[in-house]
Amino acid sequence: MADSMLDQRESIEGANGIEGVQTRPENAREAILEVEGLFLSFTQYGTGLRQRDLEVIHDLSLSAHAGEIVAVVGASGSGKSLLAHAIFGILPDNARVAGSIRFRGQELDTQLQARLRGSSMAFVPQSVDYLDPLMRTLEQVRGVRATADRARMALDRFGLDERVDTLYPFELSGGMARRVLVSTAVIEDADLIVADEPTPGMTLEMAREAMKTFREFADAGKAVVVITHDLDLAYSTADKIVVFYAGQTFEIADAADFRDGGVRLRHPYSRALVDALPQNGFKPTPGTQPYADNLPQGCLYANRCPLKTGECTAEHPPLRDFAGGRVRCLHPVSEERRDGVWGDESVDDGLATGSQANGFAQARVEPSRGPRLLEARSVSFSYKEGVPVLEDIDFSIREGEIVGLYGPSGRGKSTLGYLLSGREKPQSGTVLWDGEPLPMRGYRPIQLVYQHPERAVNPRWQLGRTLAESWEPPKELQDALGIEDAWKKRWPNELSGGELQRFCIARALNPQTRILICDEITTMLDVVTQAQVWRAIVKQAREHGMGVIAITHSLALAERICDRIVEI
């Protein structure tokens, strides 16, 4: 059995080698994973007993070769994680898969999946939740296919000594947990490693450090697929980037194509992604990704595309080779068209003038009074006795100022936000607004927007009501935030996180807000939406002399929007 498999493998390698030479010389290496025309749908019942299929992935393709890191990027809901689940055969029962997934040229059917899972293919999950909460680390890492010695070696490799062997997941710090998760992939000595969002909440520096491990894997001849929504990270560490949108592959490009402002990119959406990065244009694109149950006829990006023609809404574009990459677009951006069509026009938001490094106008403050000050004086806080989250911290912000609070997860950034907004009281030290204790009656001048919008709206209220609890924002602001009127009649569970977050932000942009604290509000969103909502916030802040504290782990974002950055 094992012998025959080996034979097969070698013959496939040979075949691939020839094919590779013919098409792309630089990819002469063996293709480990090839996904071609993948469709994924969930069986549902519509009204009555009529059965229907909700198609969440349509005609999706990618490939990963030995020795390379392939980054899969896309907004949430684009089908990134489902792809990983499809590769490993761990989709729910009502999922149906069509199309082809091949592993070393061999069709990955259920039997092959069962044989390869945990030996030739390794999955690196994103958080400690994927570990059995009641199993000790060594046993956990060992799995069912390795010995304790090998598990020990794998942990050693990541600098985790014997002390962690007997720890339970809840006893691991964030950094340790990540290393434990990655070590499960080492032990399996796999040819293919798929990592699902391995770097959430890390600063770019830390994330790059983490990606080094994957580079080592690739250098050892493995194929690595990293699923991420962090475009920065993707193009600075991967070899190849696959852009997903609404369950489709839009573009497959070398990572280098994303550099230099993405001038070599082929698909308008890829360009939009690059342009939306804080360090680039920070340029928003109106509209939202369509839902799986309400897809347009032709190109899925047509409703947002600046290059759209009549054909685009009529015809479904195929994925095709173009200028050294692959693209799904009827009018891919060629060399000749590049300058004329894209130009270098800046976004006309009326603020991007002036000489500030960040490109935004300076604050307008009430001249008569002078800006009021929100300050924390040597505050300390701990949720649990003896485990301080904040110790003796000073912080201050004036009305009209935009201050970044920057640092990786777990440093107490959110807690400081809670203290400054009055949601929590410091155990020692004081928080003062204009020299007085925080006002707790009436509309509070200090408002907080949370990271998870699903928790910040009443699940039994329509969103219009949620908005009206604060104020009725003018049409202009709603448009700036991309809120559609129809959404106001919807219930929270009918909208995506990005859509809900826009409501939470609009609610807090009430002119009575003097300081707005934004706690990682766009961490869960794609870069295009991030650019859109931040532009709206900054505009509102400048117009009303409002202060903003931007809590973030993204230095690029902080540098883009802030007057001043405080590291914590």
Partner 1 sequence: MAELVASRAASREARKNVRTSNRRRRAIMLAIVLGVILVAALVAGLTMSPDLYASDYSQKQQAPNAVHWFGTDFQGHDMFCFSIRGLALSIVIGLLASAVSGFVALILGSISAICGGWVDKVILWLADLFMSIPHMVMLLLISFSVGGGTLGVVLAVALTHWPSLTRVIRAEVLRIRTGEFVAASRAMGKGNVWIAWHHVVPNVLPQFIVGTILLFPHAILHESALTFLGFGLPLDSPAIGAILSSSMKYLATGAWWLAVFPGLMMVAIVLLTFTLGDDIKQLTDPHTVQE
Partner 2 sequence: MSAQTKFIIKNVIRVVTLLFAVSVITFALATMAPIDPVEAYAGSENHLPQEQLDQIAAKWGWDQPPIQRYLNWIGGVLTGDWGISVIYHRPVFDVVGERFLTSLALMGTAWIISGVLGFGLGILCGLRQNSWADRIIKGFCLVLAAAPTFWLALLALMFFSVFLGWFPTGLAAPAGMRAEDVTLAMRLHHLFLPALVLSVTGIAQITLQTREKTIEARLSDYALFARARGETERQFTRRHVLRNIALPAITLQFGSISEIFGGSVLAEQVFSYPGIGNAAVAAALRGDIPLLLGVALVAALFVFAGNMVANILYGVVDPRIRAGSEAIDG
Give the nearer residue to partner 1 in terms of CB position, either 270 or 466.
466
Contact partner at residue 184 from partner 1, partner 2, none, CB < 5 to 8 Å by partner kind: partner 2
Neighbours of 139 (CB within 10 A): 13
Under the binding rule (CB under 8 A), the answer on residue 164 touching partner 2 is yes
Is position 152 an interface residue for partner 2 (rule: CB under 8 A)? no
**CB of residue 192 vs partner 2: minimum separation in angstroms?**
12
Shorter beta-carbon distance to partner 2: residue 115 or 564: 115
Does 110 engage in binding with partner 2 (CB under 8 A)?
Answer: no
Is 446 a residue that touches partner 2 (CB under 8 A)? no
* Contact partners, residue 268, CB within 8 Å, separation at least 6: 301, 305, 306, 307, 329, 333
Q: Which option in partner 2, partner 1, none does residue 76 bind, with CB closer than 5 to 8 A by kind?
A: partner 1
Token code pair at residue 318: 């195929």
Shortest CB 244 distance to partner 1, Å: 10
In contact, 332 and 265? CB cutoff 8 Å:
no
Q: Is 2 in the site for partner 2 (CB under 8 A)?
A: no
Collect contacts of 277-281 with beta carbons under 8 A, ≥24 apart: 277/231, 277/232, 277/527, 277/556, 278/530, 278/531, 278/554, 278/556, 278/557, 278/559, 278/560, 278/561, 279/232, 279/556, 279/559, 279/560, 281/346, 281/347, 281/531
- What single-letter DSSP state applies at residue 496? -
Closest distance between partner 1 and the C-beta of residue 196, in Å?
A: 6
Helix 174-187 to helix 148-157 angle (10° resolution) is 130
Residue 179 token pair:
């290393």
Number of residues that make up the chain: 568
Q: Where are the alpha helices (DSSP H) in 394-496?
A: 413-421, 453-456, 463-468, 475-481
**Residue 494 binding target from partner 2, partner 1, none, CB below 5 to 8 Å by type:** partner 1
Compute the least distance from the CB of residue 162 to partner 1, in Å. Answer: 31
Q: Helices 268-276 and 527-544: crossing angle, nearest 10°? A: 40
Q: Among 147, 173, 353, 458, which residue interacts with partner 2 (rule: CB under 8 A)?
A: 173
CB of 172 to partner 2, least distance (A): 7
Site for partner 2 in 365-404 (CB under 8 A): 387
In the bound state with partner 2, the residue whose beta carbon lies nearer, of 10 and 171, is 171
What residue 356 binds from partner 1, partner 2, none (CB within 5 to 8 A, per partner kind)? none
CB nearer partner 1, residue 27 or residue 523: 523
DSSP 407: -
Residue of 206, 211, 197, 218 whose CA lies nearest to 73 = 197
Strands (E), 455-528: 515-519
- Are the C-beta atoms of 469 and 457 separated by less than 8 Å? no
Read off the amino acid at residue 105: G
Identify what 441 binds: partner 1, partner 2, none; CB under 5 to 8 Å per kind: partner 1
Do 289 and 527 form a contact (C-beta atoms < 8 A)?
no
Return the one option of partner 1, partner 2, none that residue 117 interacts with (CB less than 5 to 8 A, by type).
Answer: partner 2
Residue 301 Cβ vs partner 2, minimum distance, rounded to whole Å: 31
Neighbouring-strand partners of residue 243: 73, 251
**39 or 322: CB nearest partner 1:** 39
Query: Which residue's CB is nearer to partner 2, number 179 or number 267?
Result: 179
Shortest distance (Å) from residue 543 CB to partner 1:
21
For partner 2, the binding residues in 87-106 under the rule CB under 8 A are 88-90
Q: Which among partner 1, partner 2, none contacts residue 118 (Cβ within 5 to 8 A by kind)?
A: partner 2
| CA atoms in the 13 A half-sphere facing the CB of 296 | 18
DSSP tag of 533: H
Tell me which of partner 2, partner 1, none is bound by residue 46, counting a contact when its beta carbon lies within the kind-specific cut-off of 5 to 8 angstroms: partner 1
**What does the alpha-carbon distance between residue 105 and residue 63 come to, in Å, rounded to a whole number?**
11
Query: Nearest CA to 374 among 397, 393, 353?
Result: 397
| CA quadruple 510, 512, 518, 522: dihedral, nearest 10 | 10
- From the CB of 134, what's the least distance to partner 2, in Å? 5
Q: Which of 211, 247, 256, 250 is nearest to 230 (CA)?
A: 211
Using CB under 8 A as the binding rule, whether residue 167 contacts partner 2 is answered as: yes
Q: Minimum Å distance from CB 34 to partner 1?
A: 22
CB closer to partner 2 out of 76 and 81: 81
Cβ neighbours around 355 below 10 Å, total: 6
Residue 95 interacts, among partner 1, partner 2, none and using kind-specific CB cut-offs from 5 to 8 Å, with: partner 1
Member of 17, 19, 36, 85 binding partner 2 (CB under 8 A)? 85
Please give the residues from 520 up to 539 whose contact with partner 2 meets the rule CB under 8 A.
none
The one of partner 2, partner 1, none whose footprint includes residue 45, by CB under 5 to 8 A per kind, is partner 1
Per rule CB under 8 A, is residue 148 in the interface with partner 2?
no
Among 170, 321, 337, 362, binds partner 2 (CB under 8 A): 170
CA distances from 59 to 31, 41, 72, 177, 252 (A): 19, 11, 15, 35, 14
Amino acid code (one letter) for 342: W
* Binding interface with partner 1 (CB under 8 A): 42-49, 54, 56, 74, 76-82, 85, 91-95, 126-127, 196-197, 200-201, 227, 229, 292, 421-423, 441-444, 446-448, 450, 452, 455-461, 466, 469-470, 491, 493-494, 496-497, 504, 507-508, 510, 523-525
Q: Tell me how far apart the alpha carbons of residues 246 and 496 are, in angstroms, rounded to a whole number.
A: 13
Q: How many residues bind partner 2 (CB under 8 A)?
A: 39
Q: What gap in Å lies between CA 486 and CA 295, rounded to an integer?
A: 17
Could you say whether residue 160 binds partner 2 (CB under 8 A)?
A: yes
450 makes contact, choosing from partner 2, partner 1, none, with CB < 5 to 8 Å by partner type, with partner 1
Summarize as ranges the residues that interact with partner 2 (CB under 8 A): 85, 88-90, 114, 116-119, 122-123, 125, 127, 129-135, 143-145, 159-160, 163-164, 167-168, 170-173, 175-176, 179, 184, 188, 387
